[in-house]
């Protein structure tokens, strides 16, 4: 996404309304997660969803574009999932014996810097939008466990009636060694 193109998008007469609509959708989506309404959350995910959280690495200056993040489609990442596995993760929590989330953690998602960086075919009538945002996710577990996950998200949302479906989510957690015992929550 070139800077010029982003500026052209942002000054488009439809941008502000669409940005507000998309942000509202994303806020609703994380509220479902925080409220543990997991089945309703799953319903917002497209059947062909790609849910991807790469690992990050310390690499030499100049190698960041090529090597800083693990890549989807090859090797190992934190998550490279489809809707089936996310459904399994929900089902696992719902067994009541998934001890990493039993008792359930308290999770609070904060999303900000929501920006539309692409719209296909156009901002006037978008079938898909690419949205970048920042997240701060707080997890409090049992009594004394606290984890803070901060990073960037790149989502592709697909128009679905008067709402959206999440078609792709890339989660860039700003850590190399994971500073948490588990990633047992949704992003």
Partner 1 sequence: MSSSAFRPADYIDNERGLISREIFVNPELHRQELDKLFTRAWLFVGHESQVPLAGDFFQSRMGDESVILCRDKAMQLHVFLNSCRHRGMKVCRYDSGNTSLFTCPYHSWAYGLDGKLLGVPQFRELYQHTLDKDANSLITVGRMHNYKGAVFATWDPGAPDFETWLGGAKEHLDLVLDCRDGRPGGSEVIGVHKWIFPSNWKFAAENFLGDTYHNISHRSVDLIGIGPSARAGVTGRRDNEMDKAKHIWAGFPAGHGVHSAILPEDNEYIPSFMNDPEVEEYFRHCFYERKRRMGEKSRLIPFTGNLFPNISFHGRQPRNLCNWHPHSPTETEGWRFFLVDADAPAVVKDFLRRYYMRYSGPAGMTEQDDMENWLYATAASRGAIARRHPFNYQQSLGKWDVTAEGGHNSWQVSEQNPRNYYRVWAEFLNGSPWDVLVGGDPSYRQQAAQ
**Roughly how many angstroms between the first and final C-alpha of the chain, as a whole number?**
24
42 binds partner 1 (CB under 8 A): no
Nearer to partner 1, 20 or 179 (CB): 179
Q: What is the DSSP letter of 51?
A: E
| Residue 39 tokens, joined | 């089945």
* Residue from 31, 43, 85, 148 in contact with partner 1 (CB under 8 A): 85
106 binds partner 1 (CB under 8 A): no
Nearer to partner 1, 2 or 99 (CB): 99
* Residue from 2, 4, 11, 58 in contact with partner 1 (CB under 8 A): 58
| Residue 150 tokens, joined | 């901060």
Identify the CA nearest to 163 among candidates 50, 40, 51.
40
Distance, in Å, from the CA atom of 4 to the CA atom of 14, rounded to the nearest integer, reads 17
Stretch that binds partner 1, among 20-28, 34-42, 97-105, 148-156 (CB under 8 A): 97-105
């Amino acid at each position: 996404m070139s800077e010029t193109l982003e500026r052209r998008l942002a000054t488009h007469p439809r941008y502000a309304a669409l940005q507000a609509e998309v942000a509202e959708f994303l806020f609703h989506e994380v509220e479902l997660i925080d409220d543990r309404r997991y089945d309703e959350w799953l319903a917002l995910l497209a059947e062909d969803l790609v849910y991807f959280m790469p690992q990050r690495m310390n690499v030499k200056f100049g190698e960041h574009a090529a090597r800083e993040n693990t890549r989807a489609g090859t090797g190992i990442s934190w998550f490279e999932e489809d809707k089936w596995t996310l459904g399994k993760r929900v089902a696992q929590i719902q067994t009541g014996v998934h001890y990493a989330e039993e008792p359930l953690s308290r999770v609070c998602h904060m999303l900000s810097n929501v920006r539309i960086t692409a719209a296909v075919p156009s901002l006037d009538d978008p079938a898909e939008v690419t949205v970048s945002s920042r997240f701060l996710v707080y997890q409090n577990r049992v009594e004394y466990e606290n984890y803070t996950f901060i990073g960037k998200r790149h989502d592709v949302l697909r128009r679905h009636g008067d709402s959206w479906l999440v078609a792709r989510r890339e989660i860039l957690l700003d850590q190399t060694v994971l500073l948490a015992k588990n990633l047992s929550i949704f992003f």
